[in-house]
Amino acid sequence: MLSPQDRLREINNLFLRKTFQVNYRRVEQYLSEQFDILRYSERSFSRDINTLKELLQERYPSLEEEQGELIRFSRSTFSFYYVRQDISAFPSFSEKELNQIASMIDLNQHLFTDGVGKGIVNKLRAIILENNLSNYHEILAWPSIQLIKDGERAGSDLIKPILEAIAAKNYLLFSYQSLSKSARHKTYQGIPLMIKEYNNGWYTGWYVLIQEVKEHERWVKTDINSLRLFALDRMENLQVVNSKYQLRFAPDFYPPNYFKNMLGILRNNLTNPEIKTEKVSVCLNSDNWLLEYLTKYPLHPSQQIDVRDGSNRMIHITWHIEINVELESFLMRYANDLEVLNPENLRKQIKEKLEQALSMYQ
pLDDT digits (tens, 9 = 90+) for 306-356: 876 666 688 999 999 999 999 999 999 999 999 999 999 999 999 999 999
CA–CA gap between residue 254 and residue 97 (Å, rounded): 36
**Residue 316 lies in domain:** 278-359
Last residue of a domain, one of 46, 63, 82: 82
Residues 179 and 251 reside in one and the same domain: yes
Residue 215 lies in a domain: yes
CB 81 within 8 A of CB 22: yes
CA–CA gap between residue 312 and residue 285 (Å, rounded): 9
Extended strands (E) in 177-297: 186-200, 203-212, 219-221, 227-231, 235-241, 246-248, 278-285
Last residue of a domain, one of 31, 57, 82: 82
Last residue of a domain, one of 59, 82, 105: 82
Residues 19 and 72 reside in one and the same domain: yes
Residues 142 and 166 reside in one and the same domain: no
Residues 338 and 309 reside in one and the same domain: yes
How many domains does the structure of the chain reveal? 4
Mean pLDDT within 286-309: 88
Residues 76 and 97 reside in one and the same domain: no
Residues 63 and 114 reside in one and the same domain: no
Predicted TM-score (pTM) of the model is 0.60
Residue 270 lies in a domain: no
Higher pLDDT among residues 244 and 258, named by residue: 258
Residues 173 and 247 reside in one and the same domain: yes
Amino acid at 245: Y
What is the CATH classification number for the domain harbouring 179? Answer: 2.30.30
pLDDT band at 103 (very low <50, low <70, confident <90, very high): confident
Residues 163 and 253 reside in one and the same domain: yes
Residues 221 and 297 reside in one and the same domain: no
Residue 238 lies in a domain: yes
Residues 125 and 103 reside in one and the same domain: yes
Residues 11 and 52 reside in one and the same domain: yes
Decide: residue 209, CB within 10 A, 0-12 exposed, 13-18 middle, 19+ buried.
buried
What is the CATH classification number for the domain harbouring 292? Answer: 3.30.70
Higher pLDDT among residues 124 and 53, named by residue: 53
